[in-house]
């Protein structure tokens, strides 16, 4: 029994790179966010725009994001991001991202997110809710 | 004797916000990068485009970036980012960022960067170099 | 009697530039959008987050955007954007942007926007409404 | 004999959308830039990072970019961009982009670009050069 791993491949765009010719750091966090949406679509078999309404939550907002940059990623590089849940806790979880170029690990990312409903008093604030067991189960490959 | 703190204030743009009406996470890393450039300009009294050539390096590339999101930051919010060096090590250092809205801490960031010359064998790779004592001194307020 | 001109100055960030060392084209459209918000704040004397609610509309969505790139704008350049209404029509208007570096015109932009309420049948669609005379008047300097 | 059309399909990411839940305008210009690179890769059968060196130029910088927004494009929409050369002139050309959602045309873009070598006196400026006939020919489908 292991965890579901979502992989996607794409080529680094000109507009994602800085004057040093390498990916500007904030772009990796965009890449990770997009991978997380795809991971959830894949696990829950629901298009991203219906993902949260269906589960009665408002979203899975970030409370912590981190990246370690091991090897520069350049314009035109063919990259692969492998994404999986590192750990489910009561109402939060870690999404791990491994971005590699030609099989070499280049950037490691971790997002800590919360399973969250909209706060009653302030629609822009969120309130953590327990992650349903049925959701967690969908990330397990038997 | 304390460390130099660079502060800047700005208003959150429409284009920095996501469908939840709050700043999209990658934008904070853009904000932090911009603050780091200003902190170095301020400490070294050199325009950013001449900053590294003057010190014989190619740049201060990131090896690690992290943010903790404490309070959602919304479209139109007037924010302040206070940035300072957390620690200088031999050839790397931490830049700390504290983003607040109306005096309330909203996002904490840390960038770990390397004082780096261009690698002889591969111009897109960098090689760490010791941070000059004269540079470190400029970040100290006596 | 002339039109209100909003001017803002800022320095080109590292993250806005591409591997050629110049501003990536899409960033100019971000710059223009931000200038338009400031122009409206300035004309209507209302913070941007209350701008449209106050006038009973949902926003001023773009129907056309255009830029002419005359001179490359580089990392670290100190730029000024002057923004003004080119023309008010019944329910649409043009916002003109002139971005200059050191007094030299570098990029000319034009946004065509609509004064729009939310569509009754589809909250993501907009419906054009006549621009109130009182709004138009605020963009005139007597 | 007709022109080569490059098509790509992708899903609209959360981070590309604004608080109105639709794609922020500058993102379309990113999309178009990426499509242009793919169109040239496809026509010239060369990876993007070698595209210009191979033809002795520095790039194909934009001199004009334009978009008409016909229908709002939303988070999660499956879009297709069809891109082709509208016209080749002596040293410049138009790249046309048609972005559609579910077969409905949503955004029309046009980029005017120059076939350009680096200027001898200023490496950040470009100098227009005639587009080689052999290049133009590659965009024709016989």
Residue C120: its pLDDT value, please? 80
Nearest chain B CA: its distance from A30 CA (Å): 6
Distance from CA of A68 to the nearest CA of D (A): 21
Using alpha carbons, select from C11, A23, C27 the residue that is nearest to residue B42.
C11
DSSP SS3 for D33:
helix
Q: With a threshold of 0.90, does the pTM exceed it?
A: yes
**Is residue B120 predicted with pLDDT exceeding 90?**
no
Mean pLDDT to the nearest integer, B38-63? 91
User: How much is the CA Rg of chain B, to the nearest whole Å?
Assistant: 16
Return the H-helix or E-strand segment holding B85: strand B78-88
Contacts of B72 (CB under 8 A, 6+ apart): A61, A124, A125, A126, B20, B22, B23, B106
d(CA B30, CA B39): 14
Quick one: angle between helices D25-44 and C25-44, nearest 10? Answer: 170
Three-class SS of B23-64 = ECHHHHHHHHHHHHHHHHHHHHCCCHHHHHHHCCCCECCEEE
The whole-number pLDDT of residue A70 equals 96
State chain A's mean pLDDT as an integer. 93
| Average of per-residue pLDDT values in chain B | 94
**Set D18, D33, D121, D122: catalytic member:** D18
For chain C, the residue count is 142
pLDDT in tens, D31-82: 999 999 999 999 999 998 888 888 888 899 999 999 999 999 999 999 999 9
pLDDT the model gives residue C67? 98
Q: What is the pLDDT of residue A126?
A: 80
Terminal-to-terminal C-alpha distance of chain C: 5
Which chain B residues are within 8 Å of A19, Cβ to Cβ? none
- Beta carbons of B2 and B141 less than 8 angstroms apart: yes
What are the chain D neighbours of C59 within 8 Å (beta carbons)?
20
> With 90 as the cut, is the pLDDT of residue C119 above it?
no
pLDDT confidence of residue C126: 80
Strands D104-114 and A116-118: unpaired
Do C66 and D64 lie within an 8 Å CB cutoff? yes
User: pLDDT at position C10, please?
Assistant: 97
Lowest mean pLDDT of B9-23, C28-42, D123-137, name the range: D123-137
C-beta neighbour count of D57 within 10 angstroms? 21
Burial category of B133 from C-beta neighbours within 10 Å (exposed 0-12, middle 13-18, buried 19 and up)? exposed
Indicate the pLDDT class of residue B1, thresholds 50, 70 and 90. low
- The region of weakest confidence among A13-27, A99-113, A114-128 is A114-128
A17-21, A30-34, A119-123, B115-119: least confidently modelled range: A119-123
Phi-psi region of B103 (alpha: psi -120 to 50; beta: other; left: phi over 0): left
Q: Which of B18, B94, B121, B122 is catalytic?
A: B18
User: For D128-142, how does the pLDDT look when each residue is reduced to its tens digit (9 = 90+)?
Assistant: 999 999 999 999 987
Q: Is residue D2 predicted with pLDDT exceeding 70? A: yes
Q: Express each pLDDT in B66-96 by its tens digit.
A: 999 999 999 999 999 999 999 999 999 999 9
Average pLDDT across chain C, whole number? 94
Q: What is the pLDDT of residue D125?
A: 75
Say which of D19, D26, D75 has its CB closest to residue B21: D19
User: Would you state the pLDDT for residue D1?
Assistant: 56
ipTM entry: 0.94
Backbone angles phi, psi at C26, to 5 degrees: -65, -25
Beta strand A104-114 pairing with A62-69: antiparallel
Parallel, antiparallel or unpaired: strands B78-88 and B92-101 = antiparallel
Does the structure show a pLDDT above 60 at B98? Answer: yes
**CA separation (Å) from C45 to B76, C2, C58, C91, D109?**
14, 18, 18, 21, 34
Which residues of C does the annotation mark as catalytic? 18
Nearest CA-CA distance, residue C16 and chain B, Å: 9
Q: Under DSSP, is residue B83 helix (H, G, I), strand (E, B) or coil?
A: strand
Instruction: Scan for tokens 């043009």, then name that residue.
Output: C94
Instruction: From C109, C95, C97, C99, select the one nearest C74 (Cα to Cα).
Output: C99
Lowest mean pLDDT among A38-47, A96-105, A121-130, B36-45: A121-130
pLDDT tens per residue, range D88-128: 999 999 999 999 999 999 999 999 999 999 888 877 678 89
Sheet with B92-101: strands ordered across: A6-11, A78-88, A92-101, A104-114, A62-69, B62-69, B104-114, B92-101, B78-88, B6-11
Q: Please calculate the CA angle B50-B56-B59 and round it to the nearest 5 degrees.
A: 65
* Residue of D15, A98, C14, A74 whose CA lies nearest to B113: C14
pLDDT score of A1: 55
What value does the mean pLDDT take over residues C5-26?
A: 96
User: Is 80 exceeded by the pLDDT of residue A122?
Assistant: no
Q: What pLDDT sits at residue D112? A: 98
User: H or E element: which one contains A75?
Assistant: none
Q: Which residue is it, tokens 């890449």?
A: A31
Active site residues of A: 18
C38-92 confidence digits (pLDDT tens):
999 999 999 988 888 888 888 999 999 999 999 999 999 999 999 999 999 999 9
pLDDT on residue D126: 80
Instruction: Kindly list the partner chains of chain B, i.e. chains with 3 or more CB atom pairs below 8 Å.
Output: A, C, D
pLDDT for position D72: 93
For residue C142, pLDDT over 80 is answered with no
Cβ–Cβ below 8 Å for B72 and A30: no
pLDDT grade for B53, boundaries at 50, 70 and 90: confident
Shortest CA gap B1–chain C (Å) = 31
What's the average model confidence in pLDDT over A40-66? 91
- Closest CB to C26: pick one of A15, A20, A21: A15
* Cβ count near C102 (within 10 Å): 10
pLDDT band at A2 (very low <50, low <70, confident <90, very high): confident
- Mean pLDDT, range C17-31, rounded to an integer: 96
CB contacts of D59 in chain A (<8 Å) are none
- Is the pLDDT reported for residue C13 higher than 60? yes
Which residues on chain B are in Cβ contact (under 8 Å) with C47? 76
Q: What share of chain B is helix, strand, coil (3-state, %, to 5)?
A: 25, 45, 30
Closest Cα partner for A60 from B28, B18, D72, D19? B18
């Amino acid at each position: 029994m292991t965890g579901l791993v979502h992989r996607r491949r794409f080529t680094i765009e000109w507009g994602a790179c800085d004057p040093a010719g390498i990916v500007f750091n904030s772009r990796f966090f965009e890449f990770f966010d997009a991978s997380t949406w795809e991971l959830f679509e894949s696990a829950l078999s629901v298009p991203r725009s219906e993902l949260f309404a269906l589960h009665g939550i408002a979203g899975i907002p970030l409370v912590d994001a981190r990246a370690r940059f091991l090897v520069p990623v350049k314009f035109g590089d063919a990259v692969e991001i492998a994404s999986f849940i590192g750990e489910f806790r009561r109402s939060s979880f870690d999404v791990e991202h491994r971005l590699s170029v030609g099989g070499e690990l280049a950037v490691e990312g971790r997002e800590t997110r919360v399973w969250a409903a909209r706060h009653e008093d302030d629609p822009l604030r969120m309130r953590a809710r327990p992650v349903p067991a049925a959701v967690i189960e969908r990330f397990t490959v038997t």
